Structure 1
Amino acid sequence: MAHASDMIAGDIEGYLKAHEHKGLLRFITCGSVDDGKSTLIGRLLFESKLLFEDQLAAIEADSKKYGTQGEEMDFALLVDGLAAEREQGITIDVAYRFFSTDKRKFIVADTPGHEQYTRNMVTGASTADAAILMVDARHGILTQTRRHSFLMSLIGIRHIVVAINKMDLVDYSKARFDQIVDEYRAFAKQLGLEDMTFIPLSALKGDNVIEHGHHMPWYHGPTLMGYLETVEVDEERLQHTPFRMPVQWVNRPHLDFRGFTGLIASGTVKPGDAIRVQPSGKTSHIKRIFTYDGDLEQAIAGQSVTLLLEDEIDISRGDVISGVDAPAETADQFETTLVWMHDQPLLPGRPYLMKLGTQSVSATVSQIKYQVNVNTLEHAAARQLDLNGIGVCTLSLSKPVAFDPYQENADTGGYILIDRMTNNTVGAGMLHFALRRSQNIHMQHVDIDKQARGIAKGQKPVLLWFTGLSGAGKSTIANRVEKKLHAAGQHTYLLDGDNVRHGLNRDLGFTDADRVENIRRVAEVARLMVDAGLIVLTAFISPFRSERRMARDLMEEGEFIEIFVDTPLEVAEERDPKGLYKKARRGELKNFTGIDSAYEAPEDPELHLQAAKLSTEEAADAVIALLRERQLIG
């Protein structure tokens, strides 16, 4: 006789096998607060009969404690896992749940309805095949309904169910249902939404969720579950789009095997197919499609494979392997829509790390064309994007990348921005198209390079970047260093913060955004001067580490020397050679570094000058000594 443990193990194995080959649908629920999203998901989980007895018992107990449905089970409590959500009856975080039916497996993301959680909704929707947009039949189309519809159109969700919920509270009125359908269709037309299905339902009572029920005999469309079980999954659609595989890893276990491993983002591929590698544009043919379980005669979207090519061509992580007839595009400047997801605002000119598929590249938002009001869809001018802000921007990269417009392929057109200092994800974006000028502008080869110019001057070009508070002594020390270098026959140029603002940067103020742009321009000018073979000195407060890092990254290894002129605030304020601290203290000068704007001190400068303890001559001698130590001057 079989043991109970063997029977249980057999049941589990049978359950897993039964679900192994089912298709998977990812969908989100969204809409206004208290439209019934969590209740609907809770009912789907309950009706799928995948809940354990202890879960049911806990929900019954919680329904009595927190519930809002009288004696009935409050299905929303299956999803609202945070204590704050249960006590307030709202959803804050994105709650992911799994369930399945005989036909399909599902992962559902319950997204928050409040405007301040826009980034959470975008996160939940980024991998969804479909969306259920909840509408309270009593209230109709609200601001949050429009907001989430805009976000769905932005992210490119192709299948939308407009679930008009709480029909039991409007006496299951067909007239009310038709009124809401007409109103939403008129709005959706502005967004270009086309694939919409309207379902009247009651998540609480169960009408049209799993079965039709008897309260709405006038409705002859699918139930919600019937729709979810049959709607097309994006993976199925992607098999019929051009082939793309971002290279994740160059697989070289021995000299006789060199393959390129990655997840196929779209399309299909077979041995013998012609391919093109982007951004290099090199071509070859597929020799083998290798997997852990053996070679394949064909691979499709969603499979992880290793491709072996007929030719030995240079391919690296981040490259995209495409079909030769419809390859990915390449560019380094784009128009993009960007959703900002960080407490610190997006400032044009500030460098970030962009992750697009398996590619990582330095990126800068060079211009915010406009910000979108997610409530009214109006376009407004903006100099920065704050938390949850959405803007259409110009994005510039440090090198060309392979991409597709996001609406054609989300895997090769969607990206995230990462803060280079903290490694936090700060933004998510969708590429629209390459800017035409990026295709027409190329680096012109010149025969006389930086090394030749430096040799002609008898020196090694370098950038000395003096940073510190206003009044720290940066300009004084830099000026003294330049005099010493000039006396020694070196060729130099000093870029001083105040002097530059009389010309190149006279259009900039002192907001954080202007300061970022100020340093970006100075860094680019300094790079050109170093390329001319000069020893360049800059004396700028340059308060932000990210901009100093950007300036460093423009230079070659060893060409950037950060000199921290470290003077305590009280000492700098006592000096106050230009009277700026007094103005700032009186409130006449806003955004002044050290008073009402932060100074981020260097963490690891090449030279740390305790300026309050040194004379100008001693500080200048310390700089000269460092240059000699590094053999940059004789």
Structure 2
Amino acid sequence: MTQDTKQDSTTLSDDATQSDALPEAQAAERSLHHIVIVGHVDHGKSSLIGRLLHDTNSLPPGKVEELEAISARRGMEIEWSFVLDAFQAERDQAVTIDTTQIWFNTALRDYVIIDAPGHREFLKNMVSGAASADAAIMVVDAEEGVREQSRRHAYLLHLLGVRQIAVVINKMDLVDFSQARFDEVSRQITEYLQSIGAAPMVIVPISARGGDNIASRSDRSPWYDGPTVISALDGFHGHPGIGSQPLRLPIQDVYKFDARRILAGRIESGSLTIGDTLLFSPSNKTARIRSIEAWPDNNAPETAAAGESVGITLDEQLFVERGELVSHVENPPKLSTLFHARLFWLGHNPLKVGARYKLKLLTQEAEVTVKSIERIIDTQTLENSDGDSVERNAVAEVTLHSRMVLGLDDYGDLPRTGRFVLIEDYDTVGGGVISMEGLPDQRQAITVKSTNVISVEHRLAAEARAARNGHYGGVLWFTGLSGAGKSTLAMEVEQRLFAKGYHVYVLDGDNVRRGLNANLGFSPEDRTENIRRVGEAASLFADSGIICITAFISPYRVDRDRARASASGHFHEIYIKADVETCEQRDPKGLYKKARAGEIRQFTGISAPYEPPESADLVVDTSQHDVADSVAQIIRYIEQTFTLKKGEDAGS
């Protein structure tokens, strides 16, 4: 906005509006709603907003005369869109190129109207405008009907989680307020919205230029008995229950005053009270709230709620940084290095598998890698297609991987914290929403619950065990897709090593699920816990001098890294490599066939990701080598790595 426009927005309520007559108690309860206006270019979005401001007495003195003069110089009737088109370039080109925000009010509420550009070249601005909206008005030209940008904007609204949508069929004067034409265009937009899982709350026939059905009913549409645009706006709800949702406070900054460390940020949902126990993600630290800071000090509140910017101090001096996400212990976000996303791609260069971008999620920033592209969605036809790249202005479902653990909320559970953007070379290139469906919460695996546990040193050193056994203990961690041959090779290697005199044992799904992990199911969290327990058990085997072979898909690097850390230098990652096609051809249990048919959800390699090792200690490609050759490779590796050579001192 230019300076003039900003000044206008601050004086909108100076005139006698309907709210001036409200009782004091009612006025105190007024809420602020953010409404985004979207639609195809030239369908009349800015004109509608200009007329809304005029018909609610929200324009400052002299503004109408200014608009009349500007329009007259261009040889046209009064052009209401000039209220918002603050840039000369916009007036000259008759196109909005930036989002513009302006305040006005009705008898019931205060509003921020976001005028989002409709032109294809400025979709990025439209996305940024819609991302902060509580509801939307979609403008459709009565003559032209639903166009390409109408569909794309509708899809983006749905993608960004804007569920309250009112449709206005504009320029009804150009079709002589034909009810038949209104019904036809209404059918078009309703069918499309329903096809993407949305629905219009109301459809209003209007003429923004003439003011028909904006603030009052028009005589030119006697057949219409629905609400006016103003009534439709007042019918939108805000975010009921946002205060009762789980607490989410992204840490914006940490300030140091005297001996205090004040953690500052804006509460996105929920509420907090002095004395609450807070959990910080992803660091997994906890502390209690000592105070909620305010100035002057005697005005310090006891509680704070969603929408408030606060500073808090803790009962202990934790090291907390910008990017931590604060919650209560009872309802935390998930911790993960992996998440699914539905995103809208805005970059000039296509998004590709393996590409790296900066993720901005609330105040968190992290480098993420595109692990896979599940499908690409045509916003016009809604058809899905496969591909290894996503072109500009396309929508795709992808899986992203971060090297650092992130605190994540599923967008379906908490919309305000489930949105993100991607940055490349300081430019916003994409935005979308998070889905954690089928992915484990890694918090349980990194939470240490035992206290007062004191380590007792064994009196038998590893060297003594190696000298007795003739080899060192260790963990051979076989990882790979289902059907790659992990269990087959593990059992064959165990038999061969035993025959050679090695102390060896295999841990696989069958023997650990019957006992050690009998209480675990197959949820993402249980699968993570399954691998954690196997890693700890394998480490104990290795510590006892045994070569422990594990055969588990273990699709996530973070789980395998945790197993590596448990084995403390005795961990060897063996990648049993085979592509999906090869595994699917083998498919001895028919699992891939069931997964393709949708009978098995979140099946690794089909509907759930697999993260291959980045630097495996040994790679055995079973699509290129038979069982005998593969076993021979592994045996050679073990003999070279674990065997105590003749005359060798185990202590060396």
Whether TM-score is above 0.5 comes out as: yes
Looking at structure 2, the residues matched to 369 and 116 of structure 1 have their Cα atoms a distance apart, in angstroms, of 26
> Which of 439, 452, 455 lines up with 1:436 in the alignment?
439
1:40 aligns with 2:40: no
Looking at structure 1, the residues matched to 361 and 423 of structure 2 have their Cα atoms a distance apart, in angstroms, of 11
Residues 415-564 of structure 1: pairs in structure 2 closer than 5 A = 415-419=420-424, 422-433=425-436, 436=439, 439=442, 440=528, 441=556, 442=559, 443=561, 444=563, 445=565, 524-525=614-615
1:159 aligns with 2:159: no
> Which of 122, 141, 150 lines up with 2:146 in the alignment?
141
Task: Give a deviation string over 1:35-90, Cα, whole Å, max 9, x none.
Answer: 211211111222343434554343222212446xx5x3111222234444434433
Which residue does 1:288 correspond to in 2?
291
Which residue does 1:207 correspond to in 2?
212
Residues 212-361 of structure 1: pairs in structure 2 closer than 5 A = 212-234=217-239, 236-255=240-259, 257-293=260-296, 294-311=299-316, 313-361=318-366
Which residue does 1:539 correspond to in 2?
none
Looking at structure 2, the residues matched to 231 and 345 of structure 1 have their Cα atoms a distance apart, in angstroms, of 37
Q: 1:372 Cα deviation (Å)? A: 1.9
Contact 1:332/1:434 (<8 A) preserved? no
Looking at structure 1, the residues matched to 60 and 319 of structure 2 have their Cα atoms a distance apart, in angstroms, of 54
Looking at structure 2, the residues matched to 275 and 87 of structure 1 have their Cα atoms a distance apart, in angstroms, of 54
Which residue does 1:60 correspond to in 2?
68
Contact 1:333/1:434 (<8 A) preserved? no
Looking at structure 2, the residues matched to 102 and 292 of structure 1 have their Cα atoms a distance apart, in angstroms, of 34
AA paired with 2:119?
H
Contact 2:12/2:104 (<8 A) preserved? no
Which residue does 2:83 correspond to in 1?
78
AA paired with 1:29?
I
Task: Give a deviation string over 1:121-146, Cα, whole Å, max 9, x none.
Answer: 21211101111111222333333322
1:180 aligns with 2:182: no
Task: Give a deviation string over 1:595-634, Cα, whole Å, max 9, x none.
Answer: xxxxxxxxxxxxxxxxxxxxxxxxxxxxxxxxxxxxxxxx
Residues 92-111 of structure 1: pairs in structure 2 closer than 5 A = 92-111=97-116
Contact 2:68/2:78 (<8 A) preserved? yes
Contact 1:93/1:120 (<8 A) preserved? yes
Looking at structure 1, the residues matched to 225 and 270 of structure 2 have their Cα atoms a distance apart, in angstroms, of 36
AA paired with 2:246?
P
Shift in alpha-carbon separation, 1:250–1:86, aligned structure 2, 3 A: closer
Contact 1:357/1:411 (<8 A) preserved? no
Q: 1:447 Cα deviation (Å)? A: 5.7
Which residue does 1:26 correspond to in 2?
34
AA paired with 2:78?
M
Contact 1:36/1:203 (<8 A) preserved? yes
Which residue does 1:542 correspond to in 2?
none
Looking at structure 1, the residues matched to 88 and 389 of structure 2 have their Cα atoms a distance apart, in angstroms, of 35
Unaligned runs of 5+ in 1: 1-10, 454-502, 505-520, 530-634
Which residue does 1:131 correspond to in 2?
136
Shift in alpha-carbon separation, 1:383–1:39, aligned structure 2, 3 A: same
Looking at structure 2, the residues matched to 35 and 181 of structure 1 have their Cα atoms a distance apart, in angstroms, of 15
Looking at structure 2, the residues matched to 120 and 342 of structure 1 have their Cα atoms a distance apart, in angstroms, of 13
Contact 1:271/1:287 (<8 A) preserved? yes
Q: 1:29 Cα deviation (Å)? A: 1.3
Contact 1:353/1:361 (<8 A) preserved? yes
Looking at structure 2, the residues matched to 15 and 304 of structure 1 have their Cα atoms a distance apart, in angstroms, of 30
Looking at structure 1, the residues matched to 74 and 406 of structure 2 have their Cα atoms a distance apart, in angstroms, of 52
Shift in alpha-carbon separation, 1:373–1:408, aligned structure 2, 3 A: same
SS in 2 for 1:247: strand
Shift in alpha-carbon separation, 1:434–1:252, aligned structure 2, 3 A: farther
SS in 2 for 1:375: coil
Q: 1:175 Cα deviation (Å)? A: 3.8
Looking at structure 2, the residues matched to 216 and 386 of structure 1 have their Cα atoms a distance apart, in angstroms, of 44
Looking at structure 2, the residues matched to 400 and 230 of structure 1 have their Cα atoms a distance apart, in angstroms, of 41
Unaligned runs of 5+ in 2: 1-10, 21-26, 443-527, 529-555, 573-577, 580-610, 619-652
**Which range moved further: 358-367 or 372-381?**
372-381
SS in 2 for 1:133: strand
Shift in alpha-carbon separation, 1:282–1:448, aligned structure 2, 3 A: closer
AA paired with 1:402?
G
Looking at structure 1, the residues matched to 612 and 145 of structure 2 have their Cα atoms a distance apart, in angstroms, of 54
Q: 1:13 Cα deviation (Å)? A: 11
TM-score w.r.t. length of structure 2? 0.62
**Which range moved further: 14-23 or 190-199?**
14-23
> Which of 368, 371, 376 lines up with 1:366 in the alignment?
371
AA paired with 1:46?
H
AA paired with 2:254?
V
Q: 1:339 Cα deviation (Å)? A: 2.2
AA paired with 1:277?
F
TM-score w.r.t. length of structure 1? 0.63
SS in 1 for 2:358: strand
AA paired with 2:433?
M
Shift in alpha-carbon separation, 1:318–1:209, aligned structure 2, 3 A: same
Contact 2:12/2:58 (<8 A) preserved? no
Contact 1:119/1:339 (<8 A) preserved? no
Contact 2:12/2:60 (<8 A) preserved? no
Q: 1:319 Cα deviation (Å)? A: 1.4
AA paired with 1:269?
L
**Which range moved further: 434-443 or 12-21?**
12-21
Which residue does 2:499 correspond to in 1?
none
Q: Any runs of at least 4 consecutive aligned residues in structure 1 with deviations exceeding 6 A, and if so which? A: 11-21
Contact 1:132/1:161 (<8 A) preserved? yes
Task: Give a deviation string over 1:578-600, Cα, whole Å, max 9, x none.
Answer: xxxxxxxxxxxxxxxxxxxxxxx
Contact 1:333/1:435 (<8 A) preserved? no
Looking at structure 1, the residues matched to 300 and 437 of structure 2 have their Cα atoms a distance apart, in angstroms, of 37
SS in 2 for 1:211: coil
SS in 2 for 1:202: coil
AA paired with 1:239?
G
Looking at structure 2, the residues matched to 277 and 523 of structure 1 have their Cα atoms a distance apart, in angstroms, of 30
SS in 1 for 2:153: helix
Which residue does 2:403 correspond to in 1?
398
Looking at structure 1, the residues matched to 422 and 31 of structure 2 have their Cα atoms a distance apart, in angstroms, of 32
